[in-house]
Amino acid sequence: MAKEPVRVLVSGAAGQIGYALVPMIARGVMLGADQPVILHMLDIPPAAEALNGVKMELVDAAFPLLKGVVATTDVVEACTGVNIAVMVGGFPRKEGMERKDVMSKNVSIYKSQASALEQHAAPNCKVLVVANPANTNALILKEFAPSIPAKNITCLTRLDHNRALGQISEKLNVQVSDVKNVIIWGNHSSTQYPDVNHATVKTPSAEKPVCELVKDDAWLNGEFITTVQQRGAAIIKARKLSSALSAASAACDHIRDWVLGTPEGTWVSMGVYSDGSYNAPAGVIYSFPVTCRNGEWTIVQGLVIDEFSRKKLDLTGAELTKEKELAYSCLS
C-alpha cells in the first residue's frame, strides 16, 4: 500500500538552491525512495515566470514520486497543508548594504512567513531555515509563529557539519562515510565552531578519535576551523556563485535524519532553539550535536568541553545574542 504524500514547501524556489533542491526532493533523497511528495514552491512576483519554468521542468522529468506541484507567489497557498517547510528565500546582502539593512529586510520577510505558516501549515510542520542569517531568521520565525512548537523550528548547520567531515576525510585520506560525530556549535556564520574533540574515524580495527589519527592539534585548532568557517567564500571565489549543490544536499540530510532518525552511535548538527545546554545562551537558535528518533531531535548531553572549545562556544553565542538584539531593534 503506497504511503500518503507528504507536502514539502520550498520558499525561494526559483533561485539557485531551489533548483538544486527540488529534484533531490522529487527523487526521494529527503524523505526516502518510498515516500511520495507534493512540492509547494514559493517565490516573489518578479520570479513568477522563472518559477513556472521550474514547475515545467519538474513535469518534464516525469518523477515517479512527485504527486503534485504547487508553484505560487501567494504565501498562503504555498503554506497550506505543508508538513515540511524549507525556507530558502531571503534578502541577499548586496554591495554597500549595512548589516542592519540586511537584517531589517530579512526580519520583515520571516515575520510575515511565520504568520502564514502558523495559520496554514499542517499540525506538527517541521521547519528548516536556510536563508541567511539562518539562525536569526529562524528565531524571528519562531517568535512570530507561537503556535508552532519551538522544537519544530530549526536552521541549517548541516552544510558546515558535512564540510567538516569532508575536510577530515581529505586530511586522513579516508572515506567520508567513515568519519562521524564532528560538531558545529553556534551560528551559521564565520563564528561557528567546528569541533572534532568527539569525532571518530572507522578503521579496520576500531573506531578511533580524529585527534589521535590527525596528530596535528595546531591544524585542528587553526586551519581546519578557518577552512570550514570560510568554505562558503571559497566556493564563491571558485564558482562565482554561492554553494547551491552542497547546501541543497545538506538540507535533504537535515530533514531526512530528523524525520527518519540518525544511525545508532551517530549524531548530526542542527540549529535548534537553545535550552541553555552547554551554557549556550537560551532563547536563540544555536547549533548543537543532536540525535534524532521518532521525528524528534535531542541534544547530545554530557560531552566534555575543554577550555579552547569553551571560548569558541561563548564567542558564537555572544554573536547570536547581538544578532537577536539587532533583529528586535529592527522590529521596533
| Catalytic positions | 188
Least separation in angstroms between CB 323 and its own copies: 24
Least separation in angstroms between CB 156 and its own copies: 13
3-state secondary structure 230-290: CHHHHHHHHHCCCCCHHHHHHHHHHHHHHHHCCCCCCCEEEEEECCCHHHCCCCCEEEEEE
Closer residue to its own copies (CB): 68 or 276: 68
Closer residue to its own copies (CB): 116 or 225: 225
183: phi then psi, degrees, rounded to nearest 5: -135, 135
- Under the binding rule (CB under 8 A), the answer on residue 245 touching its own copies is yes
Neighbours of 249 (CB within 10 A): 19
Evaluate the omega torsion of the peptide bond into residue 5 and state whether it is cis, within 30 degrees of 0: no
Closer residue to its own copies (CB): 142 or 231: 231
Residues 199-238 close enough to bind its own copies by CB under 8 A: 231, 234-235, 237-238
Cβ contacts of 90 within 8 Å, gap of 6 or more: 12, 106, 109, 110, 131, 132, 137
- Under the binding rule (CB under 8 A), the answer on residue 59 touching its own copies is yes
- Under the binding rule (CB under 8 A), the answer on residue 248 touching its own copies is yes
Q: How many residues bind its own copies (CB under 8 A)?
A: 50
Closer residue to its own copies (CB): 143 or 160: 160
Sole binder of its own copies in the list 240, 294, 304, 306 (CB under 8 A)? 240
Closer residue to its own copies (CB): 148 or 268: 268
- Under the binding rule (CB under 8 A), the answer on residue 24 touching its own copies is yes
Whats the size of the chain, residue-wise?
332
Neighbours of 276 (CB within 10 A): 10
Least separation in angstroms between CB 286 and its own copies: 22
Positive/negative CA dihedral, 251, 5, 148, 298: negative
- Under the binding rule (CB under 8 A), the answer on residue 50 touching its own copies is yes
Sole binder of its own copies in the list 170, 207, 216, 217 (CB under 8 A)? 170
Residues 27-46 close enough to bind its own copies by CB under 8 A: 27, 29, 33
Contact segment (CB under 8 A) with its own copies among 72-80, 103-111, 167-175, 193-201 equals 167-175
- Under the binding rule (CB under 8 A), the answer on residue 255 touching its own copies is no
- Under the binding rule (CB under 8 A), the answer on residue 272 touching its own copies is no
Known binding site for substrate: residues? 93, 99, 132, 163
Residue numbers in the known binding site are 12-18, 43, 93, 99, 106, 130-132, 163
Residue ranges for the binding site for NAD(+)?
12-18, 43, 106, 130-132
